[in-house]
Structure 1
Amino acid sequence: MSIEVISTSNAPKAIGPYSQAIKTQNMVFTSGQIPIHPATGDIVSGGIENQTKQVLENLKAVLVEAGTGLENVIKTTVYIKDMNDFTLVNQIYGEYFRAPYPARSCIEVARLPKDVMIEIEAVAIIPSSI
């Protein structure tokens, strides 16, 4: 089985020894995306709403580079710093994903890289070009 490392300048560079995503056969496995603006390298301000939107934009950019998109995501894992933000995160998440929605886990965590408020990772399929 061959693997391909996915890397795009339209999402933040990896801040450690990992890849933005790995593509194998018809699957893409992304690393968790945090709310770093890819052009500036800065964490976006404006609270959980702006951070969630940036995370989803970063995730979308990685998936597009891999030859797929949010519409082909089959599983996400959402890590949030405060479960009290769940309703707002869920509302924004719903603006990016359409039915049939991917399977999802949402976990409150004590701390995330760079002390951000949210991180999301995804598994997606790559549609057949047949």
Structure 2
Amino acid sequence: MKKIVLSKDAPAPIGPYSQAVIHGNTLYVSGQIAIDQSTGNIVTDTIEKETNQVMKNLGLILKEAGADYSQIIKCSIFVSDMGNFAKINEVYGKYFPENPPARETVEVSCLPKNVNVEISCIAYL
């Protein structure tokens, strides 16, 4: 059986998907982009600000499910330009000071709303 997670603090899904789904003791969080829920605007001033907003959005969904960053076991990072990898990695790493999760980073040709980074994760509860 699955349970749908919906945080009113995080951006609403922009398509036919859930922010996250719990199955058993595993939380699957859909890919998040840098939408600032308070304004509805996409944060793309710098790749660092964009990545921080993405991670903040993930955190809001984790919180709604009763989890936090330390419970993430895997992330998938999609970037539009691998040239931004070092800057994305620097911001991302601040959320995992110890025991970072497994992950992959993949360059793709285009992301929703033409953003530069999208991150999804799997966490345990």
Give the TM-score range, shorter chain. over 0.9
Question: Is the partner of 1:31 in helix, strand or coil?
Answer: strand
- CA contact under 8 A between 2:47 and 2:88: conserved in structure 1? yes
| Structure 1 stretches of 4+ moved >2 Å | none
Amino acid at match of 2:25: N
Distance across 2 between alignment mates of 1:81 and 1:9 = 28
Distance across 1 between alignment mates of 2:25 and 2:66 = 10
Amino acid at match of 1:60: G
Q: How many residues align?
A: 125
**Equivalent residue, structure 2, for 1:10:** 9
Consecutive unaligned residues of structure 2, counting only runs of 5 or more, are: none
TM-score by length of 2: 0.97
Q: CA RMSD in A?
A: 0.8
1:117-128 alignment runs, 5 A limit:
117-126=116-125
- CA contact under 8 A between 2:31 and 2:121: conserved in structure 1? yes
**Equivalent residue, structure 1, for 2:74:** 75
Question: Is the partner of 2:4 in helix, strand or coil?
Answer: strand
Question: Is the partner of 2:56 in helix, strand or coil?
Answer: helix
Distance across 2 between alignment mates of 1:45 and 1:73 = 25
Consecutive unaligned residues of structure 1, counting only runs of 5 or more, are: none
Identity %: 42
